[in-house]
Copies of this chain bind each other. A is one copy, B any other.
Amino acid sequence: MTNTIRAEVVTIGDEILFGQITDTNTAWLGTELTNIGIRIVRKSSVGDQADAILQILHEAHQRADVIILTGGLGPTKDDITKKTLCTYFGVDLVRNETALALVTGFFEKRGREMTDLNRGQADLPANATYIQNDWGTAPGMWFEHDGCVYVSLPGVPFEMKHLMSNRILPKLREHFKTPIIKHKMIRTVGIGESFLAERIEAWEDALPEPIKLAYLPSFGGVKLRLTTTGDNDALLDQQLAEQVEKVLPLIEKNVYGYDDDELEVVVGRLLKDKQLTLGIAESCTGGYVSSQITKVPGSSAYFWGSIVSYSNAIKVNQLGVEPATLEQFGAVSEETIRQMAEGVRKALGTNVGIATSGIAGPDGGTPEKPVGTIWIACATDQRTVARLLRLGQYRDQNIQLTSTYVLNMLREELLN
């Protein structure tokens, strides 16, 4: 495309460079800008130093039509974005009365006293268009300079996201006339990246221009992302849908959803459609599976509750596992996991019960049951299925993978 709008995202802050915080803003910005047909060509993080910020501004200006800056707008001394933008644009810092009224109102509403540092948040570079932040005291700012749009936003994720969604994205749409970029994501589970690639190679090689394919591996699954670009929204959707239809027969068993459909969303939808309720018994996952299920809004329609049974006493008293079973086979065994899944179903009175029990690590492994030995099970009114996972030595990874596998087991049982 000749008239593609090119964007760069620049994150400002020592805390990101030094690794004290993980940057989640730019992933979100990437999705949102892509969705309105603006192509991100680079993302950068620089520290809270004026020369580093000036350098990236000059560089990005060579490559991009729009530059989104986040961070460095806090009230404290280490935040220097506004001063540096003044240097870059050759303007002064000027108090903005609209911004000041907002900051003052913010503090009055909360009955808190305002400091000089807070008042300083209403000072903006003279050439800034003030963009109101409804969720905090740091301002949003829009600049047009030398053929390029500059947007400066606070780094606090929910403030940044609200400013973007409600003020900046509509303004960008209005300012630029952009070609459309469309994505279609196919979500798979239970097949590795290279096996998936082999299986769909002929289809991939035959993809017509300008459709591109990317493999996005993550814990326990690989996402296939198809991308295309053009001017006709409906036609692009249709072209992507045709490709999905072609590839689906090759990988149908492994596909659990599309686009934003996380596994916990898909499982929730199945439970809701079938009017079934879910109870969970968690040992080694310690509440993680439940937190995945309940991060979905509206999950109370099908999720009733969980029993996290770290201690064996809870496995016996709350889940009804036989003490003799624990004695003979141990907590990490097929016998125990079956009783846990069936037990939670009975104890909580739900239609379906799922369960996890294993050695997440780093301690607790034995030669017979090393770290990563984990049982999962799913009990319905029809049957109980159990499966042994042999995972690795990392606690976080074991917990996340176990969650993916037990939710996928639940999905398969619901489809049976």
Q: Which of A45-53, A123-131, A266-274, A334-342 contacts B (4 or more CB under 8 A)?
A: A45-53
Q: A318 touching B313 by the CB < 8 A rule?
A: no
Q: B45 touching A52 by the CB < 8 A rule?
A: no
Q: A305 touching B310 by the CB < 8 A rule?
A: yes
Interface: A299 (CB within 8 A): yes
Q: Which of A70-78, A139-147, A230-238 contacts B (4 or more CB under 8 A)?
A: A70-78
Partner of A193, one of B76, B287, B289, B396: B76
Interface centre among A32, A293, A294, A310 (most CB of B within 10 A): A310
Interface: A241 (CB within 8 A): no
Number of this chain's copies in the assembly equals 2
Q: Which of A10-18, A166-174, A248-256 contacts B (4 or more CB under 8 A)?
A: A10-18
Please tell me the number of chain A residues within 8 Å of chain B, measured between CB atoms. Answer: 100
Q: Which of A35-43, A85-93, A321-329, A408-416 contacts B (4 or more CB under 8 A)?
A: A35-43
Q: State which residues 188-208 of A face B: CB under 8 Å.
A: 193-195, 197-198, 204
Q: State which residues 101-115 of A face B: CB under 8 Å.
A: 115
Q: A294 touching B305 by the CB < 8 A rule?
A: no
With contacts A26-B45, A318-B307 taken as known, whether A286 is within 8 angstroms of B291 at the C-beta atoms is yes
Chain B residues near A310: list those with CB within 8 A.
294, 299-300, 303-305
With contacts A21-B27, A27-B22, A294-B286 taken as known, whether A225 is within 8 angstroms of B15 at the C-beta atoms is yes
Interface: A330 (CB within 8 A): no
Interface: A239 (CB within 8 A): no
- The answer for the CA separation of A198 and B112 in the assembled complex, in Å, is 13
Q: B308 touching A306 by the CB < 8 A rule?
A: yes
Q: B297 touching A286 by the CB < 8 A rule?
A: no
Q: A297 touching B362 by the CB < 8 A rule?
A: yes
Q: A19 touching B29 by the CB < 8 A rule?
A: yes
User: Closest CB of chain B to A102's CB: distance in Å?
Assistant: 15
Closest B-chain residue to A287, C-beta based?
A: B290
Q: A295 touching B399 by the CB < 8 A rule?
A: yes
Interface: A244 (CB within 8 A): no
Interface: A31 (CB within 8 A): yes
Q: B313 touching A309 by the CB < 8 A rule?
A: no
- The answer for the CA separation of A26 and B46 in the assembled complex, in Å, is 12
User: Taking beta carbons and an 8 Å cutoff, which residues of A are in contact with B?
Assistant: 14-24, 26-32, 34, 40-48, 52, 56, 59, 74-78, 115, 117-118, 156, 158, 183, 185, 193-195, 197-198, 204, 212-218, 223, 225, 227, 280, 282, 285-291, 293-295, 297-300, 303-311, 313-314, 318, 347-349, 361-364, 392, 394-397, 399
**Could you list 8 further interchain pairs (A-B, Cβ under 8 angstroms) beyond the known A16-B30, A48-B214, A285-B294?**
A17-B41, A20-B223, A42-B44, A78-B214, A78-B215, A287-B289, A291-B291, A297-B395
